[in-house]
Amino acid sequence: MLRYYLWFLGFSLIFVFLLNILLGATFLYAFASVLFGALFIFLLDVLIAWVIHCLPSEWFNHKNKVYTVSKKERKIYEKLGIKNWKDKVPEMGQLCNFKKDKLENLNEDYIKKFLTETCYAEIIHYGMLLIGLFVLFIFPSNVFFSISLPLFLINAILQIPPIFIQRYNRPKLEMALMRAERLKNK
């Protein structure tokens, strides 16, 4: 759900703002820095999502080794209780005309498209995580621990759950695809 995401984001940014006030920054400097840093990361995230979605879909084939999820990895996701919280993480597939939070008819074409979208989403979130590193370099070094690093960590925390969700869902979708293909061949 989007509201949990926004609550976390809002409280985190307020925390960074208050931390800087407590460390002696002026209200205006703390407010402007946190706002600028958050907007900077957001714009970079939008840019990376757009660039990755412009790449050929062949690069995002779920059979590619990089997208393979091992049994050990699946057990880790199960231990994290991902099944209980994955639906609380906002799903933004509607921005690329593919809504993934509610399954439509599970025909072969839909499942293949869904699998491709999980691969796109995974790489987009990895890209957003990595591009967030730029925030570490846009502020003066004296605010590295009070502004740059916290903003980077907030972004990273928001990117990791969607990556886990894509990797958790993909094996289930692959099994659904095999079932759909078997039904089609009967």
Domain ranges (residues) in the chain: 2-185
Q: What is the pTM of this model?
A: 0.90
Angle between helices 149-185 and 2-22 (to 10 degrees): 170
Are 62 and 174 within 8 A, CB to CB?
yes
pLDDT at 104: 62
pLDDT at 100: 59
pLDDT at 56: 96
Determine the Cα angle at 167 with ends 161 and 168, to 5°. 85
Element (H or E) spanning 113, and its range?
helix 108-131
pLDDT at 2: 72
10-residue averages of pLDDT along the chain (186 residues): 82 97 97 97 95 95 96 96 89 62 74 95 96 94 96 96 96 94 82
pLDDT at 103: 62
Question: Which DSSP state fits 143?
Answer: G
pLDDT at 102: 60
Are 88 and 158 within 8 A, CB to CB?
no
Q: Where does 23-69 have alpha helices with state H?
A: 27-53
pLDDT at 117: 94
Q: Which residue has the tokens 């989403």?
A: 121
Cα(119)–Cα(60) distance, integer angstroms = 5
Q: Token pair of 67, please? A: 């997208």
pLDDT at 161: 94
